[in-house]
A and B are shown apart, each in its own frame.
Chain A
Amino acid sequence: MLDQSYYRKADEIIEHYGRKASSLIPIMQDIQGEYRYLPGELLTYVAGEIGIKEAKAFSVATFYENFSFEAKGKYIIKVCDGTACHVKKSAPILEALHKTLGLSKKKHTTDDMMFTVETVSCLGACGLAPTVMVNEDVYPRMTPESVVALVEKLRGEGK
């Protein structure tokens, strides 16, 4: 069960965009912006409030990679695995991250809710390959060593 405050927040966001089907995506974006993920219960709630079927809302939410039903860490690390980054050896970077954070292809977020590691297809910064993004910041020309160092630095800041 979600806390009542989640529903109040959702109400606020729904009010802002209007109770109509076309508000779905902006509402979901704002909810995810607020909580760093899209709680499933809220998606059901929003669907009911704006008058669309739950299955439809789920359909839209799962269509876009960006929406996540799982709570994400404070730092979302996106490892680019587009063509340029891939040939510049992004795979060992991902491996190093998984190893140092105890994550895997199935487990994306650390238990302390500090880090989430994802791969993305292209960050559009091929000249800087291999590239990693942490939240809104881009880190160019990474190596397995530098990415581990980055994680250590963030861990220090995050505490």
Chain B
Amino acid sequence: MGTMIIDGRKVEFTDEKNVLSVIRKAGIDIPTLCYHSEVSTFGACRLCTVEDDRGHTFASCSEEPRDGMVVYTNTGRIKRHRKLILELLLAAHCRDCTTCVKSGECNLQMLAHRLGVTQVRFENTREIREIDDSSPAIIRDPNKCILCGDCIRACEELQGVGVLGFAYRGTDAMAMPAFDKRIAETDCVNCGQCRVFCPTGAISIHTNMDEVWDALADPELRVVAQVAPAVRVAVGDAFGLDKGRSVMGKIVNVLHRMGFDEVYDTTFSADLTVMEESAEFVNRVQAGIKLPLLTSCCPSWVKFVTDHYPEFKENLSTCRSPQGMMSAVIKEYYRDPKHAAGKKTVVVSIMPCTAKKMEAKRPNSFTKGEQDTDIVITTTELIRMIKNSGIDFAELDPEASDVPFGFGSGGGVIFGVTGGVTEAVLRRLIPEHDKRALDEIAECGVRGDDAIKEFSFDYQGTKLNICVVSGLVNAKNIMEKVKRGEANYHLIEVMACRRGCIMGGGQPPRAGVRTKAARSKGIYSADNVSIIKKPDENPMVMALYEGLLKGKTHELLHNQEY
């Protein structure tokens, strides 16, 4: 508690952990490249340097606020400092901005522009290093690395995976996996948080946009899209629309215009997931086996379990993810020559997630020897494709998704946030359909931004202990507790990315506090306006069980093994 004087104005502070946060609170967007409030402070980039009343300069991220402290954020000296720092960073950085995949969303580029760096006096003497494109999810280009360490801290502190580290020293220093292994040879779970944190093009998404354009241009193919719940709340702001507002209708329209034959909604298969997973859950609870049930929607989490907790493989739900179920069902539908009409079907999955690219290639993502999901693109790639097409997205009229897989319940939509899967399963477990019963579930502890949510739920006289986790490092802590026998859960829902899929590795990066809150709100609003809240109320889902899925639920909706 106290008061600081920032650029001559009094600013109150309470529990801010550093001067930087107080300055930002005062409405001054001080530049940073290595500071993220969710991971530890590193203090490497020095861009947040400020000056005090005695002329001392210091990095504001690494200094605690003190009562009576006087700081200046924009003196001539500070400005010169910052500009020089950027110039020095750029000196050892690849300068192919126009052709860089991160162009337009690169922090380094933006800051260079903002701070007025118009030329770099120094020659880049760093040797050119090989680009690692071994991973289906991310690409690592060491030539664009500025050694801020953001990827390292995200991987280690948020995800507990720790694939990346600093290696070597001085001018040889690099951020890389141990022994400079290729990403595909490491324990990387493909979550893409390193890419979200990377302020430059050093880590980017392994893009598949060209394959989609090629498929769309081929008249022999039927190109079918499925759009995940979290995508719809992260596209609008790229086109000047409200942050977090669901623009699913516009997305459907734009995809039709681009040439997609059918546009389906992954919330539909999220409903299928709820049907299957809740049945599986009840069976396990009644039999008292393979508990806690671990959710299987998140491919990064599934990989984390199979890599690090193989003894819990059996606990993973056998349900395919919504992406997996949807693609398997679509492919099966078009196997019928009546529906195929002589065309081969290509399923394009539009996801907030980089790991879905890996999931699509997992051996258990094949049905009848055929890969279910042909191409996965992320929200970021979708936005780029819309821009590429030149279609005025903001002005598009909303359109409805196509039948028969274009409609999901509100329970399917909330899969996009942490706790959503659990909430939808709980909705399915209760017989009631009224608002009061659903509100009770919403308030049982399943919602909210907390990384770990523990609560219990009464199911026909049995007290179900439930844990909802986001962020793999938190999941790891919970699993260690389970392993030691200190925790007794019936269900553990894990989403690898903090806050769930709305903050997935494939979403547009640089989301601040407001964007995070808006995306979450957008998902719950989409649920609020759904007339149908439970999967068993979804007539399309029930019709599918009576038709196409008869005798095929095991084959189409479940993973045969992990």
Instruction: Kindly supply a per-residue 1/0 record for chain B positions 157-191, scoring 1 wherever the CB is within 8 Å of any chain A CB and 0 otherwise.
Output: 00000111111110000001111000000000000
* CB atoms of B169 and A58 under 8 A apart: no
Closest to A65 in B: B169
* CB atoms of B162 and A62 under 8 A apart: no
Closest to A64 in B: B169
* 8 Å CB interface, A40-83 against B: 40, 43-44, 53-59, 62-63
| Residue from the list B156, B168, B179 in contact with A40, Cβ < 8 A | B179
Instruction: Give the interface size class of chain A.
Output: 10 to 19
A53 to B179, CA, bound (A): 12
Classify the secondary structure of B's interface with A. mixed
* CB atoms of A55 and B165 under 8 A apart: yes
CB within 8 Å for A55 and B163 given contacts A40-B179, A44-B178: yes
* CB atoms of B178 and A63 under 8 A apart: no
Classify the secondary structure of A's interface with B. helix
| Residue from the list B168, B169, B177 in contact with A55, Cβ < 8 A | B177
A63 to B174, CA, bound (A): 11
Instruction: Give the interface size class of chain B.
Output: 10 to 19
Chain B residues packing against A (C-beta within 8 Å): 152, 156, 162-169, 176-179
Residues of B within 8 A of A58 (CB): 165, 167, 178-179
* CB atoms of B165 and A53 under 8 A apart: yes
Residues of B within 8 A of A59 (CB): 165-167
| 20 A-B residue pairs with CB within 8 Å | A40-B179, A43-B178, A44-B178, A53-B163, A53-B178, A54-B162, A55-B163, A55-B165, A55-B176, A55-B178, A56-B156, A56-B162, A56-B165, A57-B178, A58-B179, A59-B165, A59-B166, A62-B167, A63-B166, A63-B169
A73 to B265, CA, bound (A): 64
Residues of B within 8 A of A56 (CB): 156, 162, 165
A59 to B168, CA, bound (A): 7
Output the residue of B164, B166, B177 with the most chain A CB within 10 A.
B166
Closest to A44 in B: B178
Chain A residues packing against B (C-beta within 8 Å): 40, 43-44, 53-59, 62-63
State the Cβ distance, B420 to closest chain A Cβ, in Å: 31
Residues of A within 8 A of B168 (CB): 62-63
A58 to B181, CA, bound (A): 11
* CB atoms of B169 and A62 under 8 A apart: yes
State the Cβ distance, A51 to closest chain B Cβ, in Å: 11
Closest to B163 in A: A55
| Residue from the list A40, A44, A55 in contact with B162, Cβ < 8 A | A55
State the Cβ distance, B484 to closest chain A Cβ, in Å: 15
A156 to B167, CA, bound (A): 39
State the Cβ distance, B236 to closest chain A Cβ, in Å: 37
Residues of B within 8 A of A55 (CB): 152, 162-165, 167, 176-178
A57 to B165, CA, bound (A): 9
A53 to B152, CA, bound (A): 11
Residues of B within 8 A of A43 (CB): 178
Residues of A within 8 A of B163 (CB): 53, 55
Residues of B within 8 A of A53 (CB): 156, 162-163, 165, 178
State the Cβ distance, A134 to closest chain B Cβ, in Å: 26
A43 to B167, CA, bound (A): 14
A29 to B245, CA, bound (A): 57
Extra contacts, 5 of them, besides A54-B177, A55-B164, A55-B178 (Cβ < 8 A), are A43-B178, A44-B178, A53-B156, A55-B165, A59-B166
Residues of B within 8 A of A44 (CB): 178
Closest to A47 in B: B178
A55 to B194, CA, bound (A): 15
A44 to B163, CA, bound (A): 12
Residues of A within 8 A of B156 (CB): 53, 56
Q: Give me the 6 closest cross-chain CB pairs, A-B, nearest first.
A: A55-B165, A53-B162, A58-B178, A59-B165, A54-B178, A55-B178
Closest to A53 in B: B162
Closest to A69 in B: B179
A53 to B177, CA, bound (A): 10
Residues of A within 8 A of B179 (CB): 40, 58
Output the residue of B152, B162, B179 with the most chain A CB within 10 A.
B179
Residues of A within 8 A of B176 (CB): 55
Residues of B within 8 A of A54 (CB): 162, 177-178
A140 to B179, CA, bound (A): 37
A63 to B170, CA, bound (A): 9
A78 to B166, CA, bound (A): 27
Output the residue of B156, B166, B178 with the most chain A CB within 10 A.
B178
